[in-house]
């Protein structure tokens, strides 16, 4: 459904009303996830507000408001909305967070290339001067926002001999960073064979567990096609004792893969049919002995 600029103005007005009365309920407890950076420039100070882009996107869907690109790519249409949002902020009808959200709705598809929208010739002297006093907004990916929050919880403690850095204390949450992401927020980079880095809660010197690709704690277990994986268990049937993996019976001479450390050993299953004896897995000229309960793979 297409909308014209009058419809867009109406939607914007209704959106501001909903944010103030319905979306957050009690405005005293409104939650806007944001990192506020204070930047010093010689004799002046400015502020940067960094938001997770996903939060604004979710809020946009919640409010069911969308300005078609064909509408806002027109500078004249866009300026009508920009002036409305600035005037709402000047009058105090909306706060800085809502102001940034309104600008997000208008400029997100333009990649913030329309800086001329905020020039004096476009919006007037009063508005242009007022905008210069407002914080600048930036939109981060979810990865970058969470990483930035975590990095700002690192404890720094200096002594006469050295400066200590301590990982944030997390008791019920574990975080894994890719090697590249961890380096971007801490400046510490590991060898190229490290895929995932897991900071250890409360440890000095940013001590981490390091995971390589073949031992990736986040990767799903990949079972070769046609195989079944599980603990090998012994069952008593009417015909006697037999080992099973999941619901698959294991027969003498069956191909079997046995879990050892971070890998698997290929072999052939043999057993004496005596419940007291261990299972034999023949691997070329070697024999590996395993007990009931060991993790193995067998043909399904």
pLDDT of residue 85: 95
Locus of tokens 């006093």: 133
DSSP class of residue 22?
I
Q: How crowded is residue 177: how many other Cβ atoms within 10 Å of its Cβ?
A: 21
Domains, the chain: 5-140 (no CATH), 150-215 (no CATH), 227-299 (2.40.10.390)
Tokens (6 digits) for 289: 């002995």
Tokens (6 digits) for 78: 């866009």
pLDDT of residue 113: 45
- Closest CA relative to residue 12, chosen from 98, 92, 114, 76: 98
pLDDT of residue 212: 76
Confidence (pTM): 0.67
Per-residue pLDDT of the chain (300 residues; tens, 9 = 90+): 567 899 999 999 999 888 877 666 555 556 899 999 998 877 888 899 999 999 999 999 888 888 888 888 888 999 999 999 999 999 999 999 999 999 999 886 544 445 668 889 899 999 999 999 999 999 999 999 999 999 999 999 877 778 889 999 999 999 999 889 999 999 988 877 788 899 999 999 999 998 876 566 666 667 888 999 999 999 988 888 999 999 999 999 999 999 887 678 899 999 988 878 899 999 988 899 999 999 999 998
Burial bucket for residue 196 (CB in 10 Å: 0-12, 13-18, 19+): buried
pLDDT of residue 184: 93
């Amino acid at each position: 459904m297409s909308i014209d600029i009058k419809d867009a103005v109406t939607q914007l007005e209704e959106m501001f009303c909903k944010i103030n009365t319905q979306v957050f309920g009690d405005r005293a407890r409104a939650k806007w996830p944001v990192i506020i950076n204070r930047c010093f420039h010689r004799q002046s100070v400015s502020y940067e507000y960094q938001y997770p882009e996903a939060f604004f996107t979710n809020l946009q869907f919640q409010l069911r408001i969308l300005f078609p690109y064909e509408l806002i790519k027109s500078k004249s249409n866009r300026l009508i909305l920009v002036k409305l949002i600035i005037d709402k902020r000047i009058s105090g009808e909306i706060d800085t967070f809502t102001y940034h959200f309104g600008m997000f709705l208008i400029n997100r598809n333009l990649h913030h290339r329309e800086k001329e929208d905020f020039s004096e010739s476009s919006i007037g002297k009063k508005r242009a001067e007022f905008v210069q006093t407002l914080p600048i907004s930036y939109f981060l990916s979810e990865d970058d926002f969470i990483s930035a929050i975590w990095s700002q919880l690192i404890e720094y403690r200096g002594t006469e001999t050295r400066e200590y850095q301590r990982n944030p204390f997390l008791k019920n949450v574990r975080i894994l960073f890719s090697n590249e992401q961890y380096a971007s927020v801490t400046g510490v980079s590991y060898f190229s064979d490290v895929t995932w880095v897991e900071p250890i809660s409360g440890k000095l010197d940013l001590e981490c567990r390091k995971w390589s690709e073949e031992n990736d704690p986040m990767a799903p277990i990949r079972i070769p096609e046609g195989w079944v994986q599980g603990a090998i268990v012994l069952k008593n049937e009417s015909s006697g004792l037999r080992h099973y993996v999941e619901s698959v019976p294991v027969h003498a001479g069956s191909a079997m893969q046995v879990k050892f450390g971070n890998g698997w050993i290929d072999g052939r299953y043999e057993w004496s049919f005596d419940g007291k004896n261990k299972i034999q897995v023949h691997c070329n000229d070697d024999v590996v002995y395993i007990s009931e309960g060991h993790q193995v793979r067998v043909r399904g």
